[in-house]
């Protein structure tokens, strides 16, 4: 089973714990076969999902949106976790963009959507703010008939 993640980065500290538990629970359904998780490793939902996939014994495929992603978008305090996850990945796919931006993020989402059987969305249900965001990925998955599991536990909040 190939599962991708899309989700918010700006989760409150309490929400991180709620989402971590909810993702672990949602993954239980898919642990009987060969589990492969697809993630861009952004802070928040992506990283939580990647850790959960590895913790469940699955393989991790990382999609890097641009050559400068780590240096420009990953906060210094998040870099050790990012580096650890990328070294644990079974596969790393780099999009052909030197610099990040909506086009690069949309391409990374497209790569994930083209590669998966199921999408997990850590999503508060708000309408799309921009191309390449969480709501956009959910909408694209739904239009393609890819099953989507929305993960937004009671009490969740963005900061």
Q: Domains of the chain (ranges plus CATH)?
A: 2-150 (3.40.50.450)
Average pLDDT over residues 7-16: 95
Average pLDDT over residues 138-146: 96
Q: Decide: helix, strand or coil at residue 132.
A: coil
Question: What is the tens place of the pLDDT at every residue in 29-77?
Answer: 887 779 999 999 999 999 999 999 999 999 999 999 999 999 999 999 9
Average pLDDT over residues 102-122: 95
Average pLDDT over residues 92-116: 95
In the block, tokens 């500290």 appear at 13
Report DSSP letters for 44-59, one per residue.
THHHHHHHHHHHTT-E
Residue 132, pLDDT > 90, answer no
Instruction: Quote the distance between the C-alpha of residue 109 and its chain's center.
Output: 9
Q: At what angle do helices 45-55 and 79-88 cross, to 10 degrees?
A: 40
Average pLDDT over residues 115-137: 87
pLDDT band at 155 (very low <50, low <70, confident <90, very high): very high
Residue 67 has a pLDDT of 97
Q: What are the strands, taking DSSP E only, across 73-114?
A: 91-94
pLDDT band at 127 (very low <50, low <70, confident <90, very high): confident
Residue 39 has a pLDDT of 98
Q: Which of 25, 5, 16 is nearest to 155 (CA)?
A: 16
| Mean pLDDT over each residue of the chain, to the nearest integer | 94
Residue 128, pLDDT > 80, answer no
pLDDT band at 6 (very low <50, low <70, confident <90, very high): very high
Residue 129 has a pLDDT of 65
């Amino acid at each position: 089973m190939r599962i991708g993640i899309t989700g918010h980065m700006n989760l409150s500290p309490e929400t991180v714990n709620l989402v971590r538990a909810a993702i672990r629970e949602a993954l239980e359904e898919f642990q009987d076969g060969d589990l492969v998780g697809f993630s861009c490793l952004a802070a928040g939902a992506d990283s939580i999902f990647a850790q959960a996939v590895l913790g469940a014994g699955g393989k991790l495929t990382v999609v890097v949106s641009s050559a400068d992603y780590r240096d420009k978008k990953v906060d210094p305090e998040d870099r050790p976790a990012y580096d650890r996850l990328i070294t644990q990945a079974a596969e790393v796919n780099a999009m052909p963009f030197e610099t990040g931006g909506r086009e690069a993020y949309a391409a990374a989402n497209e790569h994930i959507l083209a590669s998966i059987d199921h999408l997990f969305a850590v999503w508060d249900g708000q309408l799309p703010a921009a191309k390449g965001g969480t709501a956009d990925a959910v909408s694209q998955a739904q239009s393609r008939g890819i099953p989507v599991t929305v993960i937004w536990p009671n009490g969740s909040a963005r900061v």
